[in-house]
Chain A
Amino acid sequence: DAGITQSPRHKVTETGTPVTLRCHQTENHRYMYWYRQDPGHGLRLIHYSYGVKDTDKGEVSDGYSVSRSKTEDFLLTLESATSSQTSVYFCAISETGLRDGTEAFFGQGTRLTVV
């Protein structure tokens, strides 16, 4: 199994509070991704990183920011959590940036509830 650890695994937070989710990898893969999973939508890309300090937005990036100061860590921050951000968040990594049919490896997910 790819060495991907997400923390925390579960979190309940109040509306308006900041929240940071962490993804840590031991595979030394260059590319890292944050997805959210919601019923009826599958997984949607929030942000991704193609190297240290290099990040870009995905399709549902509003209300989220990311940082990558080290190869192994990719942080997702909800600046001011809203109920619409209640979801399961998955981190994924790729060695090649998904080129040439290569796969992404996923963490176990973080279930976030905003009350």
Chain B
Amino acid sequence: GDSVTQMEGPVTLSEEAFLTINCTYTATGYPSLFWYVQYPGEGLQLLLKATKADDKGSNKGFEATYRKETTSFHLEKGSVQVSDSAVYFCALSKPGNGGYNKLIFGAGTRLAVHP
């Protein structure tokens, strides 16, 4: 079945370090891909998305490129800040039974950034 696999955390970085969080997916067809972020004590919010192959999503200095050939959507940021500490979820959306789209999430990766 459809699934999303992302690297296990926690990821611990110093401020201004480079961040990569790997995400790969298994799905038939052409899913849309998302990164959601969950700050402590809050719900999920959309960070960025890409809807077709080779699209690059970007927001707040984060980027991810939809790579269909490697079925990947890795999240990157050139210089992390303490305020980026959160849990990051990779997800895909595609039609499910009944014709309604559903979101399928990875397990989440906790990022801790230290000064």
In the complex, besides A48-B100, A98-B93, A108-B42, 7 extra interface pairs with C-beta distance below 8 angstroms are A42-B91, A56-B98, A103-B34, A103-B46, A103-B49, A106-B36, A108-B43
B105 touches A42 (CB 8 A): yes
A residues within 8 A CB of B100?
31, 48, 50, 56, 97-98
Q: Which residues of A contact B (CB under 8 A)?
A: 4, 31, 33, 40-45, 48, 50, 56, 58, 90, 92, 97-101, 103-104, 106-109
A81 to B46, CA, bound (A): 31
B93 touches A42 (CB 8 A): no
Interface of B is mostly: strand
Q: Which residues of B contact A (CB under 8 A)?
A: 4, 32, 34, 36, 41-46, 49-51, 89, 91, 93, 95, 98, 100-103, 105-108
B residues within 8 A CB of A97?
100-101
B107 touches A41 (CB 8 A): yes
A98 touches B42 (CB 8 A): no
B107 touches A90 (CB 8 A): no
A58 to B107, CA, bound (A): 17
Task: Say how far B1's CB is from chain A's closest CB, in angstroms.
Answer: 9
Task: Say how far B38's CB is from chain A's closest CB, in angstroms.
Answer: 9
A92 to B4, CA, bound (A): 19
B89 touches A43 (CB 8 A): yes
B105 touches A109 (CB 8 A): no
A99 to B101, CA, bound (A): 6
A101 to B51, CA, bound (A): 6
A43 touches B105 (CB 8 A): yes
A residues within 8 A CB of B103?
33, 43, 45, 92, 98, 104
Known: A42-B108, A101-B51, A103-B34. A58 touches B102 (CB 8 A): yes
7 contacts between A and B (CB under 8 A): A42-B108, A45-B102, A48-B100, A98-B93, A98-B102, A99-B101, A108-B41
Task: Say how far A88's CB is from chain B's closest CB, in angstroms.
Answer: 10
- In the complex formed, the residue of A with least CB distance to B34 is A103
- In the complex formed, the residue of A with least CB distance to B41 is A108
Known: A101-B93, A103-B49. A42 touches B44 (CB 8 A): no
Task: Say how far B87's CB is from chain A's closest CB, in angstroms.
Answer: 9
